[in-house]
Amino acid sequence: MKISEKFTDQQAVIGVIGLGYVGLPLVLAYAHKGFGVIGFDIDISKIVHLHAGTSYIKHIPSELIAAARASGKLDATTDFSRIKDCDAIILCVPTPLDDHLEPDLSFVTDTLDAVVPHLRAGQILSLESSTYPGTTEEEVVSRVVAAGFIVGESVFVVYSPEREDPGNPHFAATNIPKVVGGHTPACLHAGTALYGAAFDKVVPVSSTQVAELSKLLENIYRAVNIGLINELKIAADRMGIDIWEVIRAAATKPFGFTPFYPGPGLGGHCIPIDPYYLTWKAREFGVHTRFIELAGEINRAMPEYVVHRTMTALNSRGKAVMGSRILLLGLAYKANVDDMRESPTFALLDRFSELGAQVTYHDPHVPVIGPTREHSHWAGTRSVELSPETLAASDCVVIATHHAAFDLLMLAKHTALIIDTRNAMATVATQPGQVVKA
């Protein structure tokens, strides 16, 4: 049986490595379509959750996992020798930056080194992690060839960038068009069959490099425009102009304008990171991506701008930051999710703490800070209760994330000073000078 035929009658077994915000929805998507799925992860707690039919990601209901387990279509393991049981292996592992803002592919390469010894002829190997153009050729294809396989004949290598948007009710994994690039035409054919079995629309492209760069373009487009509006926010503030009103006015133009919104910095696993993957790779070709790097500098500086605005606001009330009780609302990087990766709130926690403030946070989606690579010193810190007493006891509340669960009326009633980085208080009646936009 040809590899592509296994996807037309749900005979293929799908292996997904990395069961986080990208991998878990993918596992559930294929299980829902009737495929047998094996999820792989080195985190034993995730395996335990999946065997129990429970979710460890807030916006993914346990019912979906329990149904997949009850159907017999979902298994999960830390045993990479079971790679041989899969017809397709999809890698969904992190691609962070190192301390020098350069790509850290160790999760990809370590995973590949664990996978390749268990490969067999007739399998598809797909990388979904965001990365620079050439990664699939340099890291995946090279290892498969070194193991003695002929890519495009015995093993099929593809790249298909993830496009997850956690917390977005309008888009789930399968109704977002899926870009796929193959190392050879045969690889592309196999990859199209793999993803066409679960996704509503597959967008084939001519190479893995095109697919890799398309992902970076999507996020660079957002990072650059957010950098622009963050810079304009600072300029507008100096001029005494409300940037949020400016955006609303400009957005009434029915063509040629897309609104982007300022904030306390960038968060998530893509937008703060992906642009640097391209700037690093571009240097290999003698290209200095000044525009992208400038946007990165602006966005990374936004937490310090929020701190400065907070210091000025406290000072105007006769208070110093040192010794002030500052409550940060929202640890997750975006509204209504529990994803705290690269959240700018961590930078605010660090900076206010360095300045001597008594800083706490409240986030109903992140009741306790778990282990992180960059902010391990905050691990175990718990969200404080959001109550009239907590608000009244705070010298300042900084809205870093606009969760729908926040009681803004209570906030306005009991808080002396609100630093609003998200324009959350725009529709709430407040006292003159009570809210400072930052």
- Reported as type and span, the H/E element at residue 13 is strand 13-17
Determine what percent of the chain falls in helix, strand and coil, rounding each to the nearest 5.
45, 15, 45
- Helix (H, G, I), strand (E, B), or coil: what is residue 344? helix
Contacts of 205 (CB under 8 A, 6+ apart): 179, 180, 181, 211, 214
| Residue 227: C-alpha distances to residues 5, 262, 263, 316 (Å) | 46, 8, 10, 29
**Structure-block tokens of residue 206:** 């001519």
- Helix (H, G, I), strand (E, B), or coil: what is residue 412? helix
DSSP state string for 39-73: EE-S-HHHHHHHHHT--SSTTS-HHHHHHHHHTT-
DSSP state string for 206-272: S-HHHHHHHHHHHHHHHHHHHHHHHHHHHHHHHTT--HHHHHHHHTT-SSS-------SS--SSSTT
Say how far apart CA 349 and CA 377 lie, in whole Å. Answer: 11
- Helix (H, G, I), strand (E, B), or coil: what is residue 375? coil
What is the CA angle 107-40-154, rounded to 5? 85
- Give the active site residues: 270
Say how far apart CA 59 and CA 138 lie, in whole Å. Answer: 35
Say how far apart CA 126 and CA 156 lie, in whole Å. Answer: 8
CA atoms within 13 A on the CB side of 169: 2
| Residue 190: C-alpha distances to residues 2, 153, 154, 180 (Å) | 9, 11, 12, 10
